[in-house]
Structure 1
Amino acid sequence: MRVMIFGAGYSGKAIGRLLSGQGASVAGTTRSAEKGKTLEAVGIRPFVFDGASLTEALLGELSETTHLVQSIAPGSEGDPLIRLCGQAGIRAIMPKLEWIVYLSTVGVYGDHNGAWVNEETELKPVSVRSVERVEAEQAWQVVAARDDLPLAILRLSGIYGPGRNTFMNLAHGTARRLVKKDQVFNRIRVEDIAAATAFLAGPKTAGIFNVTDDMPSPPQDVVTEAARLMDMEAPPEQPFEAADLTPMARSFYGENKRVSNAKIKRLGFNFQYPNYMMSLEDLLGSGSWNQKA
């Protein structure tokens, strides 16, 4: 397995670390040579990608790639990799490609007033970024169908893990307990994203899968539990309506749903961190909560 991760950031690094540890040859893109050092440290060969052009070195690596992980968010101009492939198609630059995984978001479902959603639920994206994600999902489906390639689309919920979690917010004094009536969110530990990717990559499984925990919960409950585990006083509750939030932060609260992960579990995948309570306890107990992200 020769893997290329476009956008080897927080989730991409976790995927690369796991696949490299399993014996795969893993490469990944980053914006600068300096950031490439952090990829090398976890077993990922770095290639600089500016989002606008493919270097000769990167093209050489892509000519040998068998498994593609696309983690770069689309913008107003669409998915950058599809745009660079142009009319020639993806096989023109990746002739040995056998499988694609696109990392999307549960934001594509939009607001369902707290109801359960699954992979068959109607997509009702609210924010501009979620609309762009729907368009990117559809674009990758066209690309995969054109070249008869298996495509897995992973719809991810709120990502957290070592170096990015509520403990960090409490330690930095930025944690808040915002309360909005009946609001719930799903979450996903970054290691479970990596494990789900590896699980699907081996047999080159195609399909759309929600990669999320089992416990959609009010966000203030997570802060309360983290503070309890750290033996700290939780910050006071604040009504959402009166909170000073950026437009992006406020937009997250405009989507209320419970996301089911039953489909990928029916294939035999087991989440290592199925709920935030056991996950927070693990992060604190292992000392990994404040590792560099």
Structure 2
Amino acid sequence: MSTSNQNVWIMGCGDIGRRVGRLYQNEGVKAIGWVRGEESLRLGLEQGLAMRKGDVDQGSFFPIFALDEALVYWFMPPPPKGETDDRLRRFLKGVDAAPKRVVLISTTGVYGDCGGRWIDESEPLKPVAARARRRVDAEETVQAWAARFGGETVILRVPGIYAPDRLPLERLKRSEPVLREEEAPWTNRIHADDLAMVCKRAMEAAPAGAIYNAVDGSPSSMTAYFNQVADYAGLPRPPQVSRAEAPAVMGAGMLSYLQESRRIRNDKLLTELGIRLQYPSLAAGLGMTGG
């Protein structure tokens, strides 16, 4: 699908949105970013993107005709509470059949705990955390929209996103503990630049209705991840505690991530979309030997 003469809208144009926008800029294609905050607006404008400011939570929409046959990237996260993604529901209700294709960023958290097994897109959805259940609702909402209006959807299930400028350095500086290596869950990730490339490729080449695991295919334990980032940044490795000790020294958010373990394949992404990742491992993404 050529995007050279299409309207391209990036809804929720934060870091990944700006990276996607830069890919279009490099091709001389105008992409329009939608944001809620002044800081995101400023960063987008400084990059030279066409930016718009509005709040979907407050019912702010551009006229439907502006989105006619548009290619829409939906990068807005669901609301922080509840079981449904009311932001996406409100947006799709407001624009009806106007968009041609929607690429939705979901999460690999929709798979829930898999006991560290290798899984692919055929794994049944069994979200545990409320944030993952909201993402399942988003997937189902965009699929229902496509069925009703004949629009096209592509769903990307995304793990932790990293880049040299988006690492947990403050956490490491605070010496916050991690689990002992032998007890740590498996985690997955993707470099931010690779994710932006995947998003654009999905918009252009994915079959309608396709779902992909947008991961680098090189999982590691959560503890190994923090250790490698610490080594990269020249910081002390974090202290390790047992799983029994963790509730007393870790916040609820981190504890929730420790309840899920899975290793995720990306074979479908690589073969079906012809993707060649620039950073197929954390070591490669950080420019360290062994990548």
Shorter chain as denominator, the TM-score bin is: 0.7 to 0.9
From 269, 272, 281, give the equivalent of 1:275. Answer: 281
Counterparts of 1:113-192 in structure 2, within 5 Å, are: 113-167=115-169, 169-170=171-172, 172-174=173-175, 176-179=177-180, 181=183, 183-192=185-194
Contact 2:187 2:220 in 1 (8 A): yes
Query: 1:67-111 CA distances to partner (integer Å, 9 max, x unpaired)?
Result: 10111122335341332443x7622xx3xx322100000000001
> How many angstroms apart in 2 are the aligned matches of 1:202 and 1:226?
33
Instruction: Give deviations 1:149-206, integer Å, cap 9, x for gaps.
Output: 2211000001111421145544x43554332615110011111110001112223543
Residue 52 in structure 1 maps to residue 57 in structure 2: yes
The equivalences for 1:88-99 within 5 A come to 90-91=96-97, 94=98, 97-99=99-101
Q: Is the 8 A contact 1:185 1:216 kept in 2?
A: yes
User: Bigger CA drift: 231-240 or 270-279?
Assistant: 231-240
Q: Residues of 2 paired with 1:174 and 1:103: CA distance? A: 31
Pairing partner for 1:4 from 3, 6, 9? 9
Q: Does 1:259 align with 2:264?
A: yes
1:68 pairs with 2:69: no
**Structure 2: where are the runs of 5+ without partners?**
1-5
Give the Cα separation in 1 of the matches to 2:95 and 2:227.
Answer: 49
Change (3 A) 1:131 1:227: closer
Please list the CA deviations of residues 37-84 of structure 1 after superposition, one character each: whole Å capped at 9, or x if unmatched: 10112232221121234547x327843562101111223353413324
C-alpha separation between the residues in 2 aligned to 1:105 and 1:200? 16
Quote how far apart the aligned CAs of 1:232 are: 4.1
Q: Are 2:242 and 1:239 equivalent residues in the alignment?
A: yes
CA deviation after TM superposition for structure 1 residue 20, in Å? 2.4
Aligned AA for 1:127?
A: A
2:144 aligned counterpart, secondary structure: helix
- Give the direction of change, closer, same or farther, for the CA distance of 1:66–1:108 in structure 2 (3 Å limit): same
Match of 1:212 among 206, 211, 215: 215
**Cα pair 2:118 2:265 within 8 Å, conserved:** yes
By how many angstroms is 1:23 displaced?
2.4
| Sequence identity (%) | 28
**Greater mean alpha carbon deviation, residues 61-70 or residues 249-258:** 61-70
The yes-or-no answer on 1:25 pairing with 2:30 is yes
Q: CA deviation at 1:231?
A: 4.2
Offset of residue 252 of structure 1:
0.9
Compared CA separation, residues 210 and 85, structure 1 to 2 (3 A): closer
Distance in 2, Cα, partners of 1:121 & 1:9: 30
1:228 alignment partner in structure 2:
231
**Greater CA drift, 117-126 or 44-53:** 44-53
CA distance in 1, matches of 2:126, 2:151: 27
Residues 61 and 28 of structure 1, relative CA distance in 2, 3 Å threshold: farther
Distance 2:26 2:112 in 1: 36
- Corresponding residue for residue 3 of structure 2: none
Between the aligned partners of 1:13 and 1:89, the Cα distance in structure 2 is 23
Distance change (3 Å), C-alpha of 1:64 and 1:147:
closer
Amino acid corresponding to residue 280 of structure 1 in structure 2:
L
- Output the TM-score relative to the length of structure 2: 0.85
Q: Could you say what the CA RMSD is over the residues aligned between the two structures, in angstroms?
A: 2.4
